[in-house]
Each structure stands twice: as structure tokens, then as C-alpha cells.
Structure 1
Amino acid sequence: MKEIKVGMIGSGFIARVHCQALATLPGVRVTAQCSPNEQRRLAFVKELGISESYPDHRQLLAEAGVDVVVVATPNHLHAPMALDVISAGKHVIMEKPLCLTLDQADQIIDAARRQGVLVAYAEELCFVPKYLRAKELADAGAVGQVYRVNQVEKHEGPYSPWFWQTRQAGGGILMDMGCHSIEFARWFLGKPPVRAVTAWMDTVLHGDKTEMEDDVIVLLEFATGQTALLESSWALLGGMDSITHVFGTAGVIHADLLKGMGLQVYSQPGYGEYAPATRGWSYPDYEWSWQNGYPQEDAHFIECIRTGTQPAESADDGRAVLEIMLACYASAASGRRIELPYRPPPVAAPVEIWLQSRRGAAGGK
């Protein structure tokens, strides 16, 4: 079996998660990493045993001899870096969100098609063992005809300061965690077209750090008549929630990602990357990465590279999620239900659709 060599762009939390997940896979090795911050870069490669380190991703692409590259950077860098990776003839694993505009998404999809490389969209919720089992049960008819999926992801706030910045993040909690819930609902229901979106959002807790949204509720209407009610928040004090409810005509499924295989811990200072969210009672997993689907998604992507098959979560899915998020911002800005397909006005960051309306309302007072 030919060894697959992986390059990692990024040195933050999610880059570390992917490196650790890839290290569990036979015939796969992260051989190169890049980050412009020398101190972070050198500490990262030392910790994870990576042999090559570069200050610039273009140098990595030219010199490292990798087969696939993981883009695990702040959101505004996703599109330009993905296009550089694709232009170099490398497969790419894209962290969410895919990018910030539909034009960028189309460029990524078209470039990958022309170059004959694969683009995997890293949505780990579609690989979570507990959620896979829930989908198996639903698909087998255990709860009758599924008519609604509810999905909740909440905690106290992001782990890195760039998430608060409009230019770098492109949006608040919707772009950070709402994208998970959107793609989870699409995947769980078999990816039927989304017919319309209604969204509500506000900045309820973190107005001292950002003008972007930190609390969101989204209602998706699918062409099948099914619906999804999604809640995403950086405003949950006292822990974390990651919960799914599946409602059918003959039953219901409740899946709490943080319980069932977790420990019960009380910690006054909190711990780990999400220290603020782990103060008080929490339920840490004994094998967090596996329970959250990271090794499974990376294993699937590597197998697609070996076999030349399209990944289950691709750039097309990332584009679909981005279009829905753009429609969410438009809905929250206008107070109206937005039908899809939706093409937004030209904005530098998706959240600007909502922020422009909010600033206008404030200025009119």
C-alpha cells in the first residue's frame, strides 16, 4: 500500500485534531506543516513529530512532495489557499466553512474538476458513531417517516481570538457552528433540496468582543416537506450542548453527543481548549476525537484518494451549506422567509448582509 503523505496548513486547534486523527491511519503520515508564525510552527511540528516545516504554504506545495493538503486556517484564507493547493495538483481537505462567497465556492469546484483532484469538505458530524447509528435506525423505519430533525450545538464561545473578527471569520456562530447543524440536517435526511430558510439571530453575550451574531435559530424547509430546527450559540454559560432529536410518525430518537460515553466531572477552573465551557459540571469523552468522528472522516477521505472516488462530503456540499448560511443572514436581516436558490448582494463577509441591516436600524433611532 502506497504511503499517503499529508501537508497541514495551520497550527491551531483543528489542525492538531486532524494531525492526531491522521496519525491513527495505516499508510498515512503528516510529513509537512506550514504557519507564518515561527514560534507556533516550530512548537507544533515538535509536538506532533512532523519532519518538515514551512513559513509559507506555496513553499510547502513546491517542495514537500505531499499527496493531500489539509486547509485548517482562519476562514478568509480558505479559498485562496484551496485554489493554490488545487493548482499544484494536490487533493485537499477543507475545514468548514468551505469559503466566504458563492463565487469562491464555484471557483474551487471548477478548478478541482479541471485538475482532476478531490476536494473533501470536513463535516465531522456526518461521521459521528452515535449519529451514524441514529441515521441507520431512522433509515430502517424505526421511527416511521421522519418529519423533523432538531440539532443543537452550544457553548460559551470560540477558542481563538480570530473568531471574533468579521474580516477573518466572515460571520459569528452561524459560520462557526451553525454550518455543522445545517450539513448534519441535510445529510441525515438524505440531502434533499432546501426550499426555504427562516433565521433569527442576535448578539446576546459577547457584544464587548464582536458585533457579529453569537446566538442563532434556523428553520430549514426541505422540498420533501421535512423540516429542521437548528440552534447554535456561543452564549451558553455552564457547559456545552451537542444534541439531536429526530421526530418520526412512529417514534423519536434522542442523541446527546456529550453523554452516554462520557465521564462526569466537576471542575472549578475548567480544562483543555474549551476551558471556559468546562467550568462546573461537564461530560468529557474518554476518546473525544473518535466520538466526534474525526478519524473516521479523515479515513474516508484518504480511502477516496486511494480509490479515486468522490467523498461523501465534498465541495458541492460545502457550497450548499454556504448558500443556506447566506440566506440565513438575509432572513435575519429582513425578518422574512428566504427561498432558495439564493444569490446574495456582493459583500466581503457573509455576516455583512445582517450587519448592514442592523447598523441601518441603529442609525435610524
Structure 2
Amino acid sequence: MKNVRVGMIGTGWISEVHARAFHTIPGVELVCQHSLDPIRGKMFHDQYGVAEFHDAFEPMLNRKDVDVFTVALPNWLHFPFAKQVLAAGKHVIVEKPLCLRLEEADELLDLAKKNGLVIGYAEELCYVPKYTHVKRVADAGGLGQVFLARQHEKHGGPYSPWFFQAKEAGGGILMDMGCHAIECCRWILGKPAVKSVYCQADLFAYKQITKLDDHIMMIIEFTTGQVAEIESSWTLRGGMTSWVEIQGTEGVAYAELLQNGNGVRIFSENGYTLNDFVEGNTKGWHYPDVEWLWINGYPQEMQDFITCIREGGTPVESGADGRAVLEIMIAGYLSAATGRKVEFPFRDPGGYQVPVDLWLKARGE
């Protein structure tokens, strides 16, 4: 089995998740990491065994001992870093969203095709065991003819200030969590062609700190006659919810990602630290979610990407899927701006720097 050598770009929370996921896959080496934060770089070396830290990207890009790079940065940096990686002849795994403009997505896809490289689009919901199970049931005919997929995901808001900035994020909740719901439903339904998109976007809870959307609802019609219904929100107080519903002519399936704990309870007077497991406060009673990584699909996602790099083939979630999701999100902002359904094939209206500009302009922002 060929070892796959990984270079990591970024040292934020999602990079920690990636590192933990890679550690579950035999024959994967974390050889180097790029970040502007040397303190975080040292932490990745100590906790996750990343061999070398680079505060400049070019020397790391030119290393011959790296097969694939992960791009886990604020949204606006996905395209320039992914482009450099593909141009250098390396495979790339890009966090969602793939990029912020369709012409950028097309350039990445062309580069990958020209150089025979894999783009792994890091959409973990399509690898979640609960969701893959209900999809298998639907695919096996257990629900009859499937006509509706729903995905709702809501929590109290993002963990980093850049999510509230249009230039860095490209949009609000639609770009952050709506992309999860869109692709989850596309995948469940077999990735059919889109017929139309209707979206309502609002700003309810974060008016004091941002102009971006914090709540969206979307209806996607497909040429197959199937429908996806989506709700994504930063406005939920009291925790997080994420669930899928699949309806067919002969049945229905529900899957709630975060329901039911794993039964682990620990009391510690002084607290503790585990290098390969991230927790909050470990003093007193606490309930570590030891299955969190697997339940959320991250090891399965990275295994798929690594297998395709080793053996060839296209991952379940590829660059083409990232482009399809981006197109729907842009159509969503256009729909929210006009109050009308946007018909496909989609014609990009242009006149924006990032997708949310379409909606902000209609609001006079």
C-alpha cells in the first residue's frame, strides 16, 4: 500500500478535525503544515505529529515529499491556494465552499483535469453513517419512489469573526451551512440536474455585528420532479440540530445526526488533556463525545479521498460537486434578492465580488 504524504494549509479548528481524521487511516503521513501562526503550528506538531512547520507557503509547495494538500482557510483563500497546489501537480482537498465564483471553480476543474489530479470537496455530511444508511435504504427501494429530501441544520453562530465578513466568507449562513444542506440533499437524490431554486434569506440575530444572512430557507426543484427543502440558521439558541428526512411513495426515513449520546460519563477533580482528542472543560462531571469524529463522517471522507489518490477514481464528493453547490448558492442569493424563483440552466448575472453581494445590493447595503 502506497503511503500518502499530506501537507496541511491552515491551523484552525477544521484543520484539527482533518488531522484527527487522517490519523485513523493507515499509511497517511502528516509531513508539513503552513500557517502564519507559529504557536498553532507548534501545537499541531506536538498533538498531531505534523513533522515540519512553514510560515511561508512557497517552500512547502515545492516539496517533493507531499502528494496532497488540504486547504482549510477562510473561504476567500480557497481558490488561490487550491490553484497553486493543482498548478504544482499536487492533489488537493478543499474545505467547503470550493470557492466564491463560478469562473474560479471552472479554473480549478480545468487544472485538475489537465494534470490528472483529484479534487476532494470536503463535504462531510455525505459520509455521515446515519445519513449514508437512510440513503442506502432509499436507493434499495425501501421507501418507494423518493420525491423529497429535507436537511435542516441550525446552531447559535460561527466560532470565528471572519464568518461575519462578506469579503472573507462570501456570504452568511448560506455559504457556511447552507452548502452542507444543499449537497446533502443533492447526494441523497442522486445528484439530478437542477430545474429551479427559490430562497428566502434573513438577518435576525446578528444585526449588531454583520449585514450578512443568518437564516435561510430554500426549495430546489430538480428535472426528475424531486424536491429538496432546506433550512440553515445561526439563530438557534440552546445547542445545535442537524437532521435529514427522505420521503417516498412507500415510506419515510428520518436521521438525526446529534441525537442520542454515547453513554460516556467522567468525573475528574483536576481535569486532564488528551493529545488526540479535543474537549472543553474536563473538570468535574463531563460527557465526552468519543465517537464524534466518526459520527460526523470525517474519517470516512478522508479515507475516500486517500483511496482515490492511491488508486485513481473520483471521490463521492469532488470538485464538480463543489461547483454545483456554488452555482445553487449564487442562484439562492439572486432569488432572495428578487423574491422570485431562479430557473436553470443558470445564467450568472455577474456584477458582484462575492455571492452575497447580490442580496446585499437588493437590501440597499
**Structures share a fold, TM > 0.5?**
yes
Which residue in 1 is equivalent to 2:38?
38
Counting only pairs closer than 5 Å after superposition, residues 265-280 of structure 1 correspond to structure 2 as none
Deviation at 1:56, TM superposition (A): 2.3
Q: How does 1:133-172 map to 2 (within 5 A)?
A: 133-172=133-172
- The 1:346/1:304 distance shift into structure 2, 3 A limit, reads same
**Which amino acid in structure 2 is aligned with residue 199 of structure 1?**
C
Match of 1:352 in 2: 357
Residue number in structure 1 paired with 2:321: 317
Alpha-carbon distance between aligned partners in 2 of 1:48 and 1:203, rounded to the nearest angstrom = 38
For residues 286-297 of structure 1, the aligned pairs below 5 Å read: 286-297=290-301
Cα distance in structure 2, aligned partners of 1:249 and 1:318: 30
Aligned to 1:268: none
Residue 190 of structure 2 corresponds to residue 186 of structure 1: no
Q: Deviations over 1:178-222 (max 9, x none)?
A: 000000111000000011000001110011121100000010001
Runs of 4+ residues deviating >3 angstroms? 260-265, 272-275, 282-286
Percent identical residues: 50
**TM-score, length of structure 1 as denominator length:** 0.92
How many pairs align? 348
Is contact 1:13–1:273 with CA below 8 Å preserved after alignment?
Answer: no
For residues 178-217 of structure 1, the aligned pairs below 5 Å read 178-217=178-217
Moved more, 59-68 or 16-25: 59-68
What's the secondary structure of 1:204's corresponding residue?
Answer: coil
Tell whether the 8 Å contact from 1:285 to 1:291 is kept in structure 2 after alignment.
Answer: no
Query: CA distance change for structure 1 residues 274 and 164 in 2, over 3 Å: closer, same or farther?
Result: farther
State the 1:63 CA deviation: 2.8
Q: SS at 1:243's partner residue?
A: strand
Distance change (3 Å), C-alpha of 1:319 and 1:274: farther
Task: Report if the CA contact (8 A) 1:326-1:344 is conserved.
Answer: no
Deviation at 1:38, TM superposition (A): 2.3
In structure 1, the gaps of 5 or more residues are 266-271, 276-281, 361-365
| Residue 57 of structure 1: aligned partner | 57
Q: Which residue of 2 aligns with 1:92?
A: 92
Task: State the alpha-carbon separation in 1 of the partners of residues 317 and 331 from structure 2.
Answer: 21
Q: How has the CA–CA distance of structure 1 residues 257 and 45 changed in structure 2, closer, same or farther, with 3 Å as cutoff?
A: same
Aligned-pair distance for 1:247?
1.1
Is contact 1:120-1:301 (8 Å) kept?
A: yes
CA RMSD of aligned residues (A): 1.9
2:342 to 338, 354, 364: 338
Once the two structures are TM-superposed, the CA of residue 72 in structure 1 deviates from its matched residue by: 0.4
SS, match of residue 53 in structure 1: strand
What residue in structure 2 maps to residue 278 of structure 1? none
Scaled by the length of structure 2, the TM-score of the pair is 0.92
In the alignment, structure 2 segments of 5+ residues that lack a partner are: 266-276, 281-285
- Corresponding residue for 2:48? 48
Deviation at 1:284, TM superposition (A): 6.7
Query: Aligned partners of 2:329, 2:316: CA distance in 1, in Å?
Result: 20
